[in-house]
Amino acid sequence: MRTFIKALRSFIQIFNLKSLIVTFLSVLATYLCIEFGIVADLPQTVIGIAVVFPIVFSIGSAFQRRETALKDYSNLKAHSRSIYLSVRDWFEDDNPEQLTEAREIIQKLFLSIRAFLSGRKKDRINKEDEVYRNFSELSAFIKKLRVRGMQAGELSRVNQYLSKMIEGFESMKHVAQYRTPVTLRAYSRIFIILTPIIYSPYFAYVGRNINIYLAMVTPVLMSLVLVGLDNIQDDLEKPFDQVGEDDIFMHVEKLVKSFEKI
């Protein structure tokens, strides 16, 4: 039962105000066509070629981008953990203050990355600068490890971890900034709105011999399906906005707290 409720909640989240507007316009156009006898047996293959195929292609592309971002985030976490373990285990003596400093710097870095990726586009320049300042602070912290006695080879390895973290952030940044082709998205959205209206004579043709309420089922279903697919694609396009169920959630506090348990 709990699984069904969760699935139903996820299904409902697909639909929004745009779904209602497109459905209303489609039903209104179909009603007017029935009233004025405007009917036509239009080809249905056009819907698949002109609308459904581009949307499905965009969904596939957006999903691949999300998977890439998820892999980059995993690498970012893995290398930050490696840096912490290096600070903890590659010295003969214990230094709790240094471990605390490492956790604080890593936490600040991940919080700034989360703020950058989930923030509004106009705020990203300042937040991006904050991310790089935190990377610089982490680099300076690693440099201090040499003073404490870390060997050159080990220090080089830790710097490689830092380099991999920066590389992962750059990849995640590009996923957040650049999406699927703008022209394809504009094309899909326009046809998603227009297709249910353009096909209203066909809906009137299908429902000409049945109850008018039953005749409205087809335009409602088409509108909800097309807009629903578009909303799914739009959610996958923004994997860091912390809104959709398929988003990549950065649990920074949980990550840093886990350092103390390992």
Residues 17 and 32 in one domain: yes
**Alpha carbon distance 112, 133 (integer Å):** 10
pLDDT in tens, 93-102: 888 899 999 9
Residues 126 and 254 in one domain: yes
Q: How confident is the model at residue 82 (pLDDT cuts 50, 70, 90)?
A: very high
The whole model's pTM is what?
Answer: 0.84
CA-wise closest residue to 27 among 207, 231, 209 = 207
Determine the pLDDT at residue 1: 66
Residue 21 belongs to domain spanning: 2-57+180-237
Judged against a pLDDT cut of 90, whether residue 167 lies above it is answered with yes
How many structural domains compose the chain? 2
Judged against a pLDDT cut of 90, whether residue 241 lies above it is answered with no
Q: How confident is the model at residue 38 (pLDDT cuts 50, 70, 90)?
A: very high
Q: How confident is the model at residue 108 (pLDDT cuts 50, 70, 90)?
A: very high
DSSP state of 172: H
* Average pLDDT estimate for 105-123: 92
| Residue 225 within a domain | yes
| Residue 242 within a domain | no
Residues 193 and 162 in one domain: no
Determine the pLDDT at residue 43: 87
Tokens of 151: 């060997």
Residues 145 and 126 in one domain: yes
Residues 133 and 252 in one domain: yes
* Average pLDDT estimate for 244-248: 80
Tokens of 29: 């156009």
Query: What are the C-alpha distances in Å from 33 to residues 36, 42, 136?
Result: 5, 14, 65
Residues 70 and 153 in one domain: yes
If you search the block for the tokens 């971890």, which residue do you land on?
161
* Average pLDDT estimate for 222-239: 88
Residues 188 and 80 in one domain: no
* Average pLDDT estimate for 154-183: 91
If you search the block for the tokens 């507007």, which residue do you land on?
21
CB 102 within 8 A of CB 141: yes
Sequence-ordered list of residues with C-beta below 8 angstroms from that of 79, at least 6 positions apart, any chain: 161, 162, 164, 165, 168
Query: What are the C-alpha distances in Å from 260 to residues 76, 79, 139, 175, 251?
Result: 18, 16, 22, 31, 15
Q: What is the CA radius of gyration of the chain?
A: 26
Determine the pLDDT at residue 31: 94
Task: Say which residue, 75 or 239, is predicted with more confidence.
Answer: 75
Determine the pLDDT at residue 179: 73
Judged against a pLDDT cut of 90, whether residue 109 lies above it is answered with yes
Determine the pLDDT at residue 93: 81
* Amino acid at position 51, single letter: V
Residues 146 and 254 in one domain: yes
Judged against a pLDDT cut of 70, whether residue 32 lies above it is answered with yes
* Average pLDDT estimate for 14-31: 91
| Residue 168 within a domain | yes
